[in-house]
Amino acid sequence: MEPILPSVPTDPRPPDQTSAAVVQLSVDGRQVEVPDDGGSLLDALRDHLGAHAAKDGCSPQGQCGCCTVLVDGAPRVACVTPLRRMVGRDIVTLDGLPEPVRSAWAAAFCATGASQCGFCTPGIIVRLEGVRAKASTAGDAAAVERAMQAHLCRCTGWRTINEAYAVMTGAPDDGSPAALGGRDFDAAARRAELEGRSPQHVGPEVALGRGGFAADRAPEGALSAVSDGNGDWVVAETLAEARRMAGKVQGRRTTVEARPPVDLPDGDWALTLRTSWVEPAYLETDVSWCEPGGEPATPLANGGAFGAKVASVAPGVARELADRHGRAVRVVLSREDCVRLGPKRPPLAAGVRADGSGLVRVVRTPGIAAAIASVAPGLVVEEVDVAGPPTSTTLRGAGWAEAAVVLAGLTPAGAPSMMVTPDGGRAEASIDDDDTIRVHVTCGRPLDEVVVRSYAIGAAHMALGWVTSEALTVDDEGEVHDLTIRSFGVLRSIDTPEIVVSIEPDDGDPVNGSDAVFAAVAAAVWRHQGCPPEWPTRLPLRR
């Protein structure tokens, strides 16, 4: 299934010219006046004041924490805070923290690998600084876990964020990386590009949200365009105005239970597995901007969104609208747009026999049969048509990971789960009696062990959620009913066990290793739970 490019109206609706009252407040130590156009504090910070440290990951859902700022010293998510309620208040974004404090946080996050794309970390750092200011003991892990319940991070798997807090507060060394000295950030960036499969910066500034995101770099005065939900795009002078004109309605979370959409015929199967629709759940929604006659900005920015933005509609729409209006246009997909238009892993139903032969029935997707055959040539692949959102093999390990996991289920109990990716990366995963996930990864020359470890922990976290908790409810007509970021089932920090990563020495050419970790941990978790026939299992890691 391919994403559909929504149509662009010939005559976009004109902007609302109604005059607005002015709100006076303090932002990062400056007294400012902002027109109250009915928008949120986040709209005012980003669109009127150019304060880009606070990020827009789900607005106006108030669920991801990326836009967290301090209001009179207390953390608050700016996307659901009406600007008109901020009269006379003191607002501090990450950029408003004292420079020595800000730099120390950036160094701690970089040293432990607690930031990959860097989109969610500005809000996380703001909240953690509030925790640090109140903490009675260094490295208060329980306080950090409580604070992180207000946030989502898809990249890092949480453990490295906890470690960064311990570094920042001078807690005893827990064995995690904790130094910047001697690191080659060019080499680290090459490793990050291998793992994320798109160019990526590595360095302290990334944790401060300065990774070059498209939404932060749009030219001053650019028009804003949003989807009206019916195939057209609404253009206005500000994002808040465009959303209001489009009649944007808050996304919802259904009460209907998600279910795997593909059935498997009866057979002499030793093991079976049916998977569900899964949302990639990257935090930075698709954004692109374009000048008339120019090339649109990439929505990939400082991360590859696990392969989910390769075919984003945003650049094409930005180019067409910029040429039509003769002005720069910034196209912003909402969280709901990303769910509806963005690609998903192809759901499948697999049955394997004791000899490793079997059948995979999978939602029709270009390249999926070859992906499965690359690791499981003994499985017959049948592609089937199922109503639902777009699917793609660009997502992390799509097709081959599922097939490899099913075959790993045939491994004798007690043996670790071992995976070799089509790229040649290798990983072994096991689960201790105390639920600690242990990973050994081999990926050629590491280039930067902090980056390898960070991506491996993030992949383990994603695999655990994939098996146990992540799913989208999609009805028989193919409409997605889970449209809030908290409804995707991404595991919170408090739900994530310890993840211990060992990087095996290897002088070979560098290759992606985190995809092997993703598949190996998924297999280890599934086997640890007794190989239940449907994902998500809705089971805790402990048996």
The percent of the chain in helix, strand and coil, each rounded to the nearest 5, is 30, 15, 50
**How far is the C-alpha of 497 from the C-alpha of 296, rounded, in Å?**
41
Domain boundary among 212, 235, 252: 212
Question: Residue 76 pairs with which residues in a beta bridge?
Answer: 69
Q: Residue 229 — very low, low, confident or very high, per pLDDT cuts 50/70/90? A: confident
Q: Which residues contact 17 (CB under 8 A, 6 or more apart)?
A: none
**CATH code (residue 418):** 3.30.365
- What per-residue confidence (pLDDT) applies to 124? 98
Tell me what percent of the residues of the chain surpass a pLDDT of 70: 93
- The whole-number average pLDDT for the span 320-348 is 96
In total, how many domains does the chain have? 2
- Is the preceding omega at residue 35 within 30 degrees of 0, hence cis? no
Q: 430 pairs with which residues across the strands?
A: 438
**217-242 mean pLDDT:** 93
Residues 6 or more apart whose CB falls under 8 angstroms from that of 459 comprise 157, 396, 514, 515, 517, 518, 521
Which of 34-38, 78-82, 319-323 shows the lowest per-residue confidence on average (mean pLDDT)?
34-38
**Domain boundary pick from 212, 237, 261:** 212
Q: Convert the pLDDT of each residue in 98-122 to its tens digit.
A: 999 999 999 999 999 999 999 999 9
**Amino acid identity for residue 433 in this structure:** D
- Domain assignment present for 73: no
For position 449, what pLDDT does the model report? 97
Q: 511-532 b/e with 16+ CB inside 10 Å = b?
A: bbbbbbbbbbbbbbbbbbbebe
Q: Is residue 310 part of a domain?
A: no
- What integer is the mean pLDDT of 435-464? 98
- Per residue in 69-91, pLDDT (tens digit) is 999 999 999 999 999 999 999 99
Q: Identify each DSSP E strand in 116-232 by its residue range.
A: 223-227
Tell me, what amino acid is at 285?
T
**Of the candidate ranges 58-62, 68-72, 89-93, 504-508, the one whose mean pLDDT is the lowest:** 58-62
Q: Is the pLDDT of residue 421 over 70?
A: yes
Tell me if 303 is assigned to some domain: no
In this prediction, residue 1 has a pLDDT band, given cuts at 50, 70 and 90, of: very low
Evaluate if residue 166 carries a pLDDT over 60: yes
Distance in angstroms (rounded) separating the CA atoms of residues 293 and 470? 41
| Position 171 pLDDT exceeds 90 | no
Q: Which domain holds residue 417?
A: 348-528
Nearest to 76 by CA among 136, 111, 25, 141: 25
Residue 143: pLDDT band with limits 50, 70, 90: confident
Cα 263 to Cα 48, 149, 268, 321, 349, distances in angstroms: 52, 36, 15, 43, 6
pLDDT of residue 38: 86
Mean residue pLDDT across the chain? 92
**More confident position, 256 or 10:** 256
Residue 4 confidence (pLDDT):
41
Answer yes or no: is pLDDT of 26 > 70. Answer: yes
> Of 66-80, 133-147, 192-206, which range is least confident?
133-147
Residue 144 lies in a domain: yes
> Residue 89 — φ and ψ, nearest 5°?
-85, 160
Label residue 176 by pLDDT band (50, 70, 90). Answer: low
Question: Which residues, 6 or more positions from 317, have their beta carbon under 8 angstroms from its beta carbon?
Answer: 5, 6, 8, 225, 233, 288, 331
Please report whether residue 376 resides in a domain. yes
Q: Which pLDDT value is given to residue 141? A: 82
Going by their DSSP bridges, the two strands 74-77 and 90-92 should be labelled as: unpaired
Position 303 scores a pLDDT of 79
User: Does 207 share its domain with 355?
Assistant: no
- The answer to whether residue 130 is domain-embedded is yes
pLDDT at 45: 97
Q: What is the pLDDT of residue 44?
A: 96
Backbone angle region of 170, left / alpha / beta, with phi > 0 → left and psi within -120 to 50 → alpha: left
Quick one: what percent of the chain has pLDDT higher than 90? 86
Reading the block at residue 479, the tokens are 């409409």
pLDDT tens for each residue of 249-298 = 777 888 889 999 999 999 999 999 999 999 999 999 999 999 999 999 99
Domain's final residue, options 212, 241, 264: 212
* pLDDT tens, position by position, 470-484: 999 999 999 999 999
352 and 207, same structural domain?
no
Tokens of 28: 């990062």
Higher pLDDT residue, 13 or 236? Answer: 236
- Where residue 153 sits, what CATH number does that domain have? 1.10.150.120
Distance, C-alpha 490 to centroid of its chain: 9
Distance CA(311)–CA(513), nearest Å, equals: 24
